[in-house]
Amino acid sequence: MQNDWLYIGLFLVIGIIVPIVPLVFSALVAPHKPNPIKQSTYECGIETVGESWIQFKAQYYVFALVFLVFDVETVFLFPWALSINQLPIFAVLEGILFISILVAGLVYTWRKGLLEWV
Amino acid sequence: MNLWNDPINFVANWLRGLLTSRGLANGFATVILFFIGIVVLILFAMLLDIFLVWVERKVVARFQDRLGPNRIGPFGLIQPFADIIKLVIKEDITPAGADKLIYNMAPVLAMASVILLWAILPLASKIYGVDLNVAVLYLVAAGALGTLSIIMAGWASNNKYALLGAFRMVANMISYEVPMVVTLLIPTILANTMSVKGITDAQSSVWFVVLSPLGMLIFLISAIAELGRAPFDLNEAESEIVAGFHIEYSGMKFGLFYAGELLHAFTFGGFVAMLYFGGYGVFGLEKFVPVLQAPLVAAVIFLGKAMVGYWVIMWVKYSMPRIRIDHMLAFNWKFLTPLSLVILVVTALASKLLSGSPTWLAALVMFLTNVVIAWLTIEILRGVGRRQRRLEQSLASPASPLARHGSE
């Protein structure tokens, strides 16, 4: 068990190092001649106007909020799904009740018109 | 235990003996063995990735009635190596206003998030990285890193097209993660375990695609959306925002994004094969034909299944037009998510009620339930479509004064 996580930790480290290797190699071999025109922002040849780091559209936040509810609650469903054969039938029904509360939230956002892209 | 029946442990034990005989502590030897194993596995994935570039180019060429790469080497097999040399010696341009650290971290993270998935991919019953008991959650977590890399790339490039691409990708990925997590619950319920080997072994008699064909379809669709491939490739819509989040990347950094996407698609082909198509098993035939149990043969079977999954993903990509963002989000939130929750509830109830009954009966009942759900869904969709058409017709009919005015 402990060894499993040691493996994952090592995998993470090596998995990050492996993509860095070609980048380092490329930095050694490739030419490097920067100039202001080359480094300017590419927007189909038109000079860029104003700041690029603008605010997110509020619509994206709404979807992120709906997602957050679902994602956190589906994580709660994993233990239930794992032990479904050992659970008594009413515990299974309770899990289904939990899912229907989730669906009620989805229906609410739907009726509120928050799922429409404007 | 010999080389044919258990190659990994055979080599590992031999190496461990070699290391401990030189006076190394057992724990330290374990770390070194892990290190060697991981490097071999990742190098295999990278080599496969190079091959996938060739497959992708060849297949897209055939879809578009072209020949594809055919000059360098037999069937153009050396072409991807030529591509790599080209990418490595290309100048790497960093835009002037970019946030350098995040800009350079993004492609590394994009590739690393895919490589991390290979830790849990079971190539055969005895060839796998690690058999985590929370592997399904690990799959979701490593997938989320990919989203992060795209936000980082889009934000750090200091380019409005890149930022738009990143916005869209985030909306896309977080939306489709919901049906994906729900359809990951279905194999968990059916197999009663989250470990990838447990899920594969639970399918030795009947594949989960029979028990839950709709779950498989929803998982495949949301996996394609998670990958950001067509028809969900709004993040790099060439016709509007050129290349989206990787517009400013050049040289090897672009190469990492590109190779990462291909390997990601193949890996998800592998996960579809593992979760719904029996992984390295062949209809339980391996009980009677011992050759199929040999790890190397099983690995070839698994990679073949993953390749089929990859091919289906490519098939979808090159056959479908890109869909609009409002359609994409509506398709997810108003169709896939409710449907996947319905399937989850039905699967949970059915597997609970049928837990004592013979396998064939359970499989038959579950398959028929899925057919009924699919039929009901189509009926509901048809009803909605009919109502919408009637609404449009009543708006456009000559009875309305506005339309009559227009026709005169």
Is there a domain that residue A76 lies in?
A: yes
b (16+ CB within 10 A) / e for B7-34: bbeeebeeebeebeeeeeeeeebbeebb
- Cα–Cα distance for residue pair A22/B399, rounded to 1 Å: 69
Chain B residue with Cα closest to A25: B88
Q: DSSP 3-state assignment of B177?
A: helix
CA distance B159 to chain A (A): 6
Q: What is the pLDDT of residue B408?
A: 43
Domain that holds residue A77: 2-111
- Cα–Cα distance for residue pair B374/B213, rounded to 1 Å: 10
Would you say the pTM of this structure is higher than 0.90? no
Where along chain B do its domains lie? 1-89, 90-389
DSSP chain A: -HHHHHHHHHHHHHHHHHHHHHHHHHHHHS-----TTTTS--STTSPP-S-S--PPPHHHHHHHHHHHHHHHHHHHHHHHHHTTTTS-HHHHHHHHHHHHHHHHHHHHHHHTTTTS--
CB B276 within 8 A of CB B207: yes
A18 touches chain B (CB under 8 A): yes
Mean pLDDT, range B263-270, rounded to an integer: 90
Chain B residue with Cα closest to A13: B112
Q: Which residues of B touch A38 (CB under 8 A)?
A: 93
Is A60 close to B188, i.e. CB distance below 8 A? Answer: no
Give yes or no for residue B407 having a pLDDT over 50. Answer: no
Residues of chain A above pLDDT 70, percent = 94
Residues of chain B above pLDDT 90, percent = 1
- Report the DSSP beta bridge partners of residue B246: none
User: Considering only A26-35, B22-31, B173-182, B260-269, which range has the smallest mean pLDDT?
Assistant: B22-31
Is there a domain that residue A118 lies in?
A: no
Q: What is the pLDDT of residue B405?
A: 52
Bond from prior residue into A22 cis (ω within 30 degrees of 0) = no
CA distance A71 to chain B (A): 6
How many structural domains comprise chain A? Answer: 1
Q: What is the pLDDT of residue B397?
A: 66
Mean pLDDT, range A39-65, rounded to an integer: 74
A103 touches chain B (CB under 8 A): yes
Find the CATH number of the domain harbouring A56.
1.20.58.1610
Q: Which residues of A touch B329 (CB under 8 A)?
A: 63, 115, 117
A98 touches chain B (CB under 8 A): no
Residue of B46, B197, B186 whose CA lies nearest to B121: B197
Q: What digits encode the pLDDT tens for the residues B269-313?
A: 999 988 888 878 777 676 777 777 777 888 888 888 899 989 998
- Report the DSSP beta bridge partners of residue B127: B124
Give yes or no for residue A22 having a pLDDT over 70. Answer: yes
Chain A residue with Cα closest to B184: A78
What is the ipTM, given to two decimal places? 0.85
Q: Across chain B, what does the average pLDDT equal?
A: 83
A3 touches chain B (CB under 8 A): yes
Is there a domain that residue A117 lies in?
A: no
Is there a domain that residue A21 lies in?
A: yes
Give yes or no for residue B208 having a pLDDT over 60. Answer: yes
Is A10 close to B182, i.e. CB distance below 8 A? Answer: no
Give yes or no for residue B375 having a pLDDT over 70. Answer: yes
